[in-house]
């Protein structure tokens, strides 16, 4: 019982201290993260000035749950589709930062006299920015809709993926004391395999299940189901050797493609904020003043290295990725801190015995310092960009920005039909190949064991035959999908053949190659249970090729699995397009530019009410255009200047992020509410024969004109609520008057 009491005391101490110091931070107009860190520092085990947490292990577990919820919420807001849109730019930015900081970290470690292995681990620790810190800071500062936000979030996701591979590489090097390129490639392949598999299975199953159960899903059930799915994926990720945070992000990304994503995000917000606060408090608890005093020189060097190095490399990477100077500078200032994987890598090095114990608290202290500076660094992005824009040669800035605007369009223009065809084929073969490999592995791990357990009375030949038949039956839809072209691939193939007749043979060769690879999966399943001769292999190949070529038109009808997957994947976008065609069109066509739409509600107290659009300062002040007015069930597309604004209208405005922000400010300042100076009063009076009300009807008093009204009368022991206008007041009645105090006093 004492442990449970201590647990409750620790939780109370954390939440109260976090609440007090976040209030102070808010009052001082400082980021809430600062309040969390200060609270953790003061109630941590190293200070002793205040009551301290008794169980740091429990707090650590809570903080791990906080990371899970923060990454789950990020996935809900930042789906795989968004990641793919900024995939190339984000990958280049993340790779530039990780490689550059790894080299810098190794050089700094060697310069400080650390061992080679310690310097290598230091390079890994300095390579990663903090996903959770940036999410929280962007949320507080309201910067999630900024044009550079997708680039930053995408780079963070890729950094987390790189961190998983890096941990495999570093642990192998620590044990074998050599570079293990094979293990690194295997870890990378394993990561890609599981990510694709989880995404495919998740998109196929989860939206379908939620759709079928929608009529039973209230808030409570939907919250339980969502969190349950999150922790299932966390468990699968850890079982596969990856981080819990990665699993939470993956499940959030899968649920982001469902129609319930926004509802789930709303339900999870309170839990995310609670455990996120515990996480940030736990970060502050890790700061040890003795370590800072003893190793302040190393901490100062590493802090400067992290902030300056990440700022330089991430900005350079974003510029190389064609993101322009503005987005690149903001991304660089946003990423300039150490992440959670730094703790994990430091702990890994200490547990493997290749790092001295003092390095771990040094890394934690550097991380806390850079966490403290993160909100200020993010805010510095805008003045830093403006300063660089003024100081750098105009031609150089124009060249960077023109490279940004031309990169995507040139690549799209240069992409010919062959490149498109090969790209579509490669993606299709990769996705279906992952599923086929997973089914083959699952058959060996589970189906064979199940058959041997329950059908041990059969001969080994029959057991193997049953296993092969069941496995191929389950794999058959995916074999068809692997070998048969999708609609886009067929269109590209026909277009190439029409352009040049000689293209028919390369197209047929690609189709034959896919069929042969598909038959390779079939042969691998059969060969794992039976010994096949050369002629048997040849017969299977020929039969398979004939089957796919002759029956391709009929078997293509059975691609129901792919149809359902694509329907689930695009369901949310299709619904958004049907509900918001203008917003969806602008988002699709202008995704590469800072052109967005936003909806604004007209308050009844707005000064714009009753005025036509041409008389309002929208266009020349903020620069936005009103493209639609929603008035009840009616939609006015591209309203004219004579269209009058009414209360509760919803205006759809289009403009840049800066223009929309200024328009939002104008809309807020346009509301003028007159304050009611009267005081509401509810009081009773008992009528006497001399009272003015005695003998009069309620209609004759015309009381409402004075701002007072009768809500109840008690006559002869009976209470009459809201008496009728014909009611006649009598001596002895008790009357309850409600209204402005001064008005009701006159009748008393």
Neighbouring C-beta atoms of residue 299, cutoff 10 Å: 20
Q: Give 69's contacts (C-beta < 8 A, 6+ positions apart).
A: 248, 268, 271, 272, 275, 276
Residue pair 740/746 in contact by the 8 Å Cβ criterion: no
Neighbouring C-beta atoms of residue 618, cutoff 10 Å: 21
Helix (H) or strand (E) holding 393, with range, is none
**How far is CA 685 from each of CA 280, 309, 692, 729, 732, rounded to the nearest angstrom?**
59, 78, 12, 12, 10
Residue 736: phi and psi, rounded to 5, are -100, 120
Residue 456: phi and psi, rounded to 5, are -70, -15
**Exposed, middle or buried by CB within 10 Å (0-12, 13-18, 19+), for 109?**
buried
Helix axis angle, 504-527 to 417-442, nearest 10°: 10
Residues facing 740 on adjacent strands: 680
- Measured between alpha carbons, how far is 261 from 572 in angstroms, rounded to an integer? 9
Residue pair 67/340 in contact by the 8 Å Cβ criterion: yes
- Measured between alpha carbons, how far is 660 from 594 in angstroms, rounded to an integer? 11
Strand order in the sheet with 718-721: 680-686, 734-740, 708-715, 718-721
Residue pair 109/87 in contact by the 8 Å Cβ criterion: no
User: 681-700 b/e with 16+ CB inside 10 Å = b?
Assistant: eeeeeebeeebebeeeebee
Q: In the CATH hierarchy, which fold is given to the domain comprising 592-669?
A: Alpha-Beta Plaits (3.30.70)
- Measured between alpha carbons, how far is 180 from 185 in angstroms, rounded to an integer? 9
Residues facing 719 on adjacent strands: 714
Helix axis angle, 324-334 to 149-176, nearest 10°: 50
pLDDT at 408: 44
Residue pair 278/14 in contact by the 8 Å Cβ criterion: yes
Residue span(s) of the chain under CATH 3.30.70.1450 come to 592-669, 680-747
Residues facing 708 on adjacent strands: 739
Neighbouring C-beta atoms of residue 617, cutoff 10 Å: 10
**Exposed, middle or buried by CB within 10 Å (0-12, 13-18, 19+), for 110?**
middle
* Tokens linked to 41: 């520092």
* Tokens linked to 573: 């976008």
Any alpha helices (H) in 56-148, and if so which ranges? 56-77, 80-85, 87-111, 116-125, 131-141
Domain 680-747 has CATH 3.40.1010.10: no
Written out in words, the top-level CATH class of the domain with range 56-390 is mainly alpha
Neighbouring C-beta atoms of residue 506, cutoff 10 Å: 15
- Measured between alpha carbons, how far is 523 from 518 in angstroms, rounded to an integer? 9
Neighbouring C-beta atoms of residue 218, cutoff 10 Å: 7
pLDDT at 182: 64
* Tokens linked to 187: 């870890």
Q: Give 311's contacts (C-beta < 8 A, 6+ positions apart).
A: 332, 333, 335, 336, 377
Residue pair 9/54 in contact by the 8 Å Cβ criterion: yes
Residue pair 291/361 in contact by the 8 Å Cβ criterion: yes
* Tokens linked to 654: 């289009």
**Exposed, middle or buried by CB within 10 Å (0-12, 13-18, 19+), for 726?**
exposed
Residue 737: phi and psi, rounded to 5, are -105, 140
* Tokens linked to 692: 């003015």
- Measured between alpha carbons, how far is 700 from 307 in angstroms, rounded to an integer? 79
Residues facing 654 on adjacent strands: 597, 625
Nearest Cα residue to 35 out of 17, 49, 47, 50: 17
Nearest Cα residue to 471 out of 544, 540, 527: 527
Strands 625-631 and 680-686: unpaired
pLDDT at 674: 59
* Tokens linked to 713: 């009368």
Q: Give 562's contacts (C-beta < 8 A, 6+ positions apart).
A: 477, 481, 486
- Measured between alpha carbons, how far is 462 from 553 in angstroms, rounded to an integer? 33
**Exposed, middle or buried by CB within 10 Å (0-12, 13-18, 19+), for 156?**
buried
Alpha-carbon dihedral angle through residues 473, 479, 481, 483, given to the nearest 10 degrees: -150
User: 113-137 b/e with 16+ CB inside 10 Å = b?
Assistant: ebeebbbbbbbbbbbbbbbbbbbbb
Helix (H) or strand (E) holding 739, with range, is strand 734-740
pLDDT at 228: 92
Half-sphere exposure of 538 (CA within 13 A, CB side): 3
Residue 727: phi and psi, rounded to 5, are -65, 135
Neighbouring C-beta atoms of residue 89, cutoff 10 Å: 25
Residue pair 599/650 in contact by the 8 Å Cβ criterion: yes
- Measured between alpha carbons, how far is 500 from 506 in angstroms, rounded to an integer? 11
Query: Which residues of the chain fall short of a pLDDT of 50?
Result: 1, 405-415
Residue pair 13/257 in contact by the 8 Å Cβ criterion: no
**Exposed, middle or buried by CB within 10 Å (0-12, 13-18, 19+), for 509?**
exposed
Tokens 């007159």, residue? Answer: 674
- Measured between alpha carbons, how far is 624 from 337 in angstroms, rounded to an integer? 36
Tokens 């949320």, residue? Answer: 139
Residue 417: phi and psi, rounded to 5, are -65, -35
User: 329-367 b/e with 16+ CB inside 10 Å = b?
Assistant: bbbbbbbbbbbbbbbbbbebbbeeebbeeebbbbbbbbb
Strand order in the sheet with 650-655: 596-601, 650-655, 625-631, 634-637
- Measured between alpha carbons, how far is 6 from 397 in angstroms, rounded to an integer? 59
Residue span(s) of the chain under CATH 1.20.1530.20 come to 56-390
pLDDT at 178: 57
């Amino acid at each position: 019982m004492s442990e449970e009491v201590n647990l409750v005391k620790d939780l109370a101490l954390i939440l109260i201290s976090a609440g007090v110091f976040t209030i102070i931070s808010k009052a001082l107009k400082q980021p809430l993260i600062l309040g969390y860190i200060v609270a953790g520092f003061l109630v941590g085990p190293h200070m002793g000035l205040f009551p301290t947490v008794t169980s740091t292990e429990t707090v650590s577990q809570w903080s791990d749950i906080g990371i899970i919820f923060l990454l789950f919420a990020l996935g809900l807001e930042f789906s795989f589709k968004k990641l793919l849109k900024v995939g190339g730019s984000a990958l280049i930015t993340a790779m530039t930062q990780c490689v550059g900081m790894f080299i810098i970290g190794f050089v700094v470690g060697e310069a400080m006299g650390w061992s080679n292995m310690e310097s290598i681990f230091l390079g890994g620790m300095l390579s990663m920015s903090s996903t959770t810190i940036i999410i929280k800071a962007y949320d507080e500062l309201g910067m999630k809709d900024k044009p550079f936000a997708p680039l930053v979030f995408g780079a963070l996701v890729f950094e987390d993926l790189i961190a998983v591979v890096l941990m495999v590489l570093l642990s192998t090097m620590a044990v074998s004391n050599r570079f293990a390129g094979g293990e690194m490639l295997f870890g990378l392949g394993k990561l890609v395999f599981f990510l694709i598999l989880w995404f495919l299975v998740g998109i196929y199953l989860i939206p379908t299940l939620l759709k079928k159960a929608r009529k039973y899903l209230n808030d409570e059930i939907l919250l339980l189901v969502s969190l349950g799915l999150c922790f299932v994926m966390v468990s699968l990720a850890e079982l596969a050797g990856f981080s819990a945070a990665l699993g939470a992000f993956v499940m959030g990304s899968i649920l982001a493609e469902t129609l319930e994503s926004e509802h789930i995000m709303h339900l999870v917000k309170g839990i995310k904020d609670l455990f996120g606060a515990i996480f940030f408090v736990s970060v502050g608890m890790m700061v040890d003043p003795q370590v800072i005093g003893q190793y302040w020189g190393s901490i100062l060097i590493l802090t400067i290295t992290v902030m300056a190095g990440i700022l330089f490399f991430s900005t350079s990477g974003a510029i190389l990725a064609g993101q322009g100077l503005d987005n690149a500078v903001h991304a660089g200032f946003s990423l300039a801190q150490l992440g959670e994987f730094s703790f994990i890598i430091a702990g890994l090095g200490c547990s493997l015995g290749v790092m001295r114990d003092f390095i771990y608290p040094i890394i934690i202290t550097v991380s806390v310092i850079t966490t403290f500076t993160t909100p200020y660094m993010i805010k510095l992005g805008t003045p830093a960009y403006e300063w660089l824009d003024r100081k750098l040669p105009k031609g150089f800035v124009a060249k960077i920005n023109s490279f940004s605007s031309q990169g995507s369009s040139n690549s799209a223009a240069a992409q010919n039909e062959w490149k498109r065809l090969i790209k579509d084929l490669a993606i299709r073969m990769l996705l279906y190949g992952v599923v086929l490999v997973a089914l083959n592995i699952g058959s060996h791990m589970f189906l064979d064991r199940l058959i041997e357990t329950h059908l041990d009375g059969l001969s080994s030949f029959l057991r193997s035959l049953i296993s092969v038949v069941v496995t191929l039956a389950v794999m058959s839809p995916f074999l068809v999908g692997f070998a048969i072209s999708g609609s886009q691939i067929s269109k590209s193939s026909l277009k190439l053949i029409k352009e040049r007749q000689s293209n028919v043979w390369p197209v047929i060769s690609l189709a034959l190659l896919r069929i042969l690879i598909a038959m390779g999966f079939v042969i691998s399943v059969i060969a794992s249970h039976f010994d096949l001769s050369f002629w048997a292999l040849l017969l299977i190949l020929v039969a398979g090729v004939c089957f796919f070529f002759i029956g391709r038109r009929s078997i293509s009808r059975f691609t129901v699995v792919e149809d359902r997957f694509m329907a689930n994947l695009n369901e949310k976008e299709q619904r958004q397009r049907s509900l918001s065609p203008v917003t969806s069109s602008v988002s699709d066509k202008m995704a590469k530019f800072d052109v967005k739409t936003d909806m604004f509600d007209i308050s009844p107290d707005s000064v714009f009410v009753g005025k036509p659009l041409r008389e309002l300062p929208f266009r020349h002040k903020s620069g936005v255009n009103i493209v639609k007015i929603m008035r009840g069930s009616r939609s006015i597309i591209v309203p004219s200047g004579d269209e009058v604004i009414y209360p509760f209208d919803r205006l759809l405005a289009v403009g840049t992020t800066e223009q929309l922000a200024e328009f939002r400010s104008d809309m807020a300042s346009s509301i003028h509410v007159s304050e009611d100076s009267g005081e509401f009063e509810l009081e009773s009076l008992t009528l006497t024969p001399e009272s003015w009300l005695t003998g009069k009807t309620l209609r004759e008093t015309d009381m409402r004109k004075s701002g007072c009204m009768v809500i109840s009368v008690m006559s002869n022991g009976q209470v009459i609520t809201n008496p009728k206008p014909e009611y006649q007041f009598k001596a002895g009645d008790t009357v309850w008057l409600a209204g402005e105090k001064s008005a009701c006093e006159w009748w008393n």
